[in-house]
């Protein structure tokens, strides 16, 4: 399996940029190139464990997981062209494609087992008394703080500080499902948005409050990231 992945990665190696990004390469090969040492170590550990306890399924599960072939709806209905959207998650109402990332990290219907897993891992770490156990990195706060800082340097004259803060939050919300939030892209996207922006008439905030309260509005229509109201969650 690894020989196949390595071979694929090697054949397309010259097409990579410095971030290992290449739309032509398979995601299996990309994963292996990004984490080759970890995958080989983990493969050895799982192989040993599978032999030790005589469980062949353990090894098969590992192969399917590392190749991203676990039977999610996205995988099972990959070729399905019907209008029934069979690749969507049936456990939640997000309407998202059910892939590994959605299942493991995002799906709200799986919050409880995810929390149980987190608590079990935390309990084991506590038992071993590892240092920095309670040290947590707030990825959202760190990333949106970075967006605000770089956008303030470049767009302070054109965009109010409060709107820059909202833009940072919006960009995070739109990209946080990705394995890596594209930090560098934020400024480019913002620059393009500013160039394409057409001024719209804004409703007073007091009126939006009234409409929201009495008509239960939650969507800001005909708006954009530079003009939507902070009172309405969707736009």
Residues that bind Zn ion (CB under 5 A): 89, 91-92, 107
Give 92 or 100: the residue with its C-beta nearer to Zn ion.
Answer: 92
Q: Give min distance, CB of 15 to Zn ion, in A.
A: 34
Q: Give min distance, CB of 102 to Zn ion, in A.
A: 6
Give 101 or 223: the residue with its C-beta nearer to Zn ion.
Answer: 101
Which residues, other chains included, contact 234 with Cβ-Cβ below 8 Å and sequence gap of 6+? 218, 219, 220
Assign residue 216 a region: left if phi > 0, alpha if psi is -120 to 50, beta otherwise?
Answer: left
Q: Give min distance, CB of 93 to Zn ion, in A.
A: 8
Q: Give min distance, CB of 109 to Zn ion, in A.
A: 5
Give 66 or 89: the residue with its C-beta nearer to Zn ion.
Answer: 89
Give 33 or 89: the residue with its C-beta nearer to Zn ion.
Answer: 89
Give 92 or 211: the residue with its C-beta nearer to Zn ion.
Answer: 92
Q: Give min distance, CB of 105 to Zn ion, in A.
A: 11
């Amino acid at each position: 399996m690894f020989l196949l992945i390595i071979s694929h990665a090697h054949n397309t190696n010259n097409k990579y940029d410095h971030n290992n990004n290449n739309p032509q390469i398979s995601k299996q090969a990309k994963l292996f190139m990004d984490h080759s040492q970890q995958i080989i170590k983990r493969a050895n550990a799982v192989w040993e464990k599978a032999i030790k306890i005589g469980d062949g399924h353990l090894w098969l599960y590992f192969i399917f997981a590392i190749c991203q072939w676990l039977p999610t709806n996205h995988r099972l209905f990959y070729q399905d062209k019907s209008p029934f959207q069979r690749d969507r998650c049936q456990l939640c109402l997000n309407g998202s494609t059910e892939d590994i990332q959605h299942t493991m990290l995002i799906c709200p219907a799986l919050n409880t087992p995810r929390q149980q897993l987190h608590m079990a891992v935390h309990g084991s770490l506590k038992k071993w008394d590892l240092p920095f156990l309670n040290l947590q990195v707030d990825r959202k706060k760190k990333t949106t703080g970075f967006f605000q800082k770089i956008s303030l340097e470049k767009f302070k004259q054109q965009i109010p500080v409060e709107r820059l803060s909202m833009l940072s939050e919006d960009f995070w919300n739109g990209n946080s499902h990705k394995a890596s939030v594209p930090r560098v892209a934020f400024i480019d996207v913002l620059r393009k948005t500013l160039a394409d922006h057409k001024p719209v008439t804004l409703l007073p905030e007091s009126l939006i409050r009234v409409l929201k309260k009495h008509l239960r509005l939650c969507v800001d229509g005909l708006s954009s990231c530079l003009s939507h109201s902070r009172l309405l969650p969707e736009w």
